[in-house]
Amino acid sequence: MIVGYSGLVIIARTGDTRLDELACVDDLFVAVTDNVRAGGWRIGFLGPVDDTSPEDLANDLALETVAPAIALLVFDSDCAWATAADPAGDTVDFHLSEETIRLLVTDGGDSFEPLNGQALAGLLVWAGKAGLFAGSGQLAAALEECPGPFGDGIFAFAEALGIAELPEQHN
């Protein structure tokens, strides 16, 4: 049996600053993997954190980096609750794999609030504020993906937002 990843994931534009050098991440006292992307963007897998929400972390990241940022709370690689924030304090709440979250929540007897129907337009605005060029069709498809045990769904989501991989270096 393979156990999936559970924990926080962040997407932030930090330039040359490593994610573990950010004050808002350092306070979480967790190990960070740092996937460097084009344009100074980074994707970090923080691991389990009990005392912070995606909304709080996204807002803290946006304020510290003075750039739009995203924080996702991933559950067993299957789904994520997430917030995109910008330095002005505007936020967009959304899910990765909303259908999976719907099944988990309704099986537990809790009520479910769908977010992605309204979130797509907000994420496109967020991408514009970040200077990114997101495609609405590609972004809508990425929102339906599971985060995945190796973060493939998160990387696809970042690419749908316009956050590209670094070009390969040829020697």
What are the tens digits of pLDDT across the range 20-31?
A: 899 998 777 677
What are the tens digits of pLDDT across the range 76-112?
A: 999 999 999 999 999 999 999 988 888 887 765 666 6
Asked if residues 76 and 4 have their Cβ atoms less than 8 Å apart, the reply is yes
Count Cβ atoms within 10 A of the Cβ of residue 60 and give its class: 0-12 exposed, 13-18 middle, 19 or more buried: buried
Residue 3: pLDDT over 90: no
What are the tens digits of pLDDT across the range 45-70?
A: 987 777 789 999 999 999 999 999 99
* Listed residue (133, 137, 139) closest to 160, CA to CA: 139
Using a CB cutoff of 8 Å and minimum separation of 24, what contacts does 48-51 make? 48/6, 48/7, 48/8, 49/7, 49/8
Q: Which residues contact 65 (CB under 8 A, 6 or more apart)?
A: 12, 13, 14, 17, 22
What are the tens digits of pLDDT across the range 112-161?
A: 677 888 899 999 999 999 999 998 999 999 999 999 988 999 999 999 99
Asked if residues 73 and 82 have their Cβ atoms less than 8 Å apart, the reply is yes
In angstroms, the Cα distances linking 146 to 67, 79, 141, 156 are: 26, 5, 11, 10
Amino acid 5: pLDDT: 85
* Listed residue (150, 166, 141, 102) closest to 5, CA to CA: 150
